[in-house]
Chains A and B, each alone.
Chain A
């Protein structure tokens, strides 16, 4: 971890009522970088997608933990959403638009597409049985 950057870390139980809380936290942290309303909405939406994915997919049983971490430096926000759940067997497939393993609960399969559209970088690291980390970068105030 790069300690010289301002950063935040928090852990929350994988419960859906924490989705809104995670958005508020990342919004407050990102605000220090003086983002536009649009940039702020992009970040909150992408984090909401990543946290929701972890809540829906990571843990078969209640009690799982999701970590939200963020690092701020001028014009750049990095966010990581991490779980220690079941992992994603095929990340490439999971990231395809409309790919869903939960059609019966009306999950659209558009979560990763939204993250990729709203953030400048999205990386997914996953290991079966050990968990998933979604790392995203948003450049702030860099619009040409």
Chain B
């Protein structure tokens, strides 16, 4: 899994995830995202899921963990371009009750 981080204007931190998001790579993704969040203190974290070719429930933990972190800093979070498989798992976990889907 690779993460492409883009610091957009107006406090938007855009991160594009590409590849397979499982337990094995969750730790690395989480570390890279947290570094970017802490460094830029964004108003909005936008996770672009378009390039995610596989995700299991490990992805729920990654997204929820980042949501908690950014919320504690006063920011918000959204997920965009969510592929159907990923969407199914996010829905199962009730993620959209707290995280916006763009």
Contact = CB atoms under 8 A, between A and B. Distances in A.
Contact of B23 (A19, A110, A113, A117): A19
Interface of B: 20, 22-24, 26, 30, 54, 56-58, 60-62, 64-65, 85, 88-89, 92-93
Contacts of B60: 108, 110
Contact of A106 (B30, B85, B92): B30
B30 to A, nearest CB: 7
Nearest to B68: A106
Interface string A98-115: 100000011110110110
Interface residues of A, number: 23
A107 B60 CA distance: 8
A84 interface: no
What DSSP secondary structure best describes chain A's contact surface?
Answer: helix
A16 interface: yes
A52 interface: yes
Contacts of A108: 57-58, 60-61, 64, 93
A5 to B, nearest CB: 27
A23 B54 contact: yes
Nearest to B55: A45
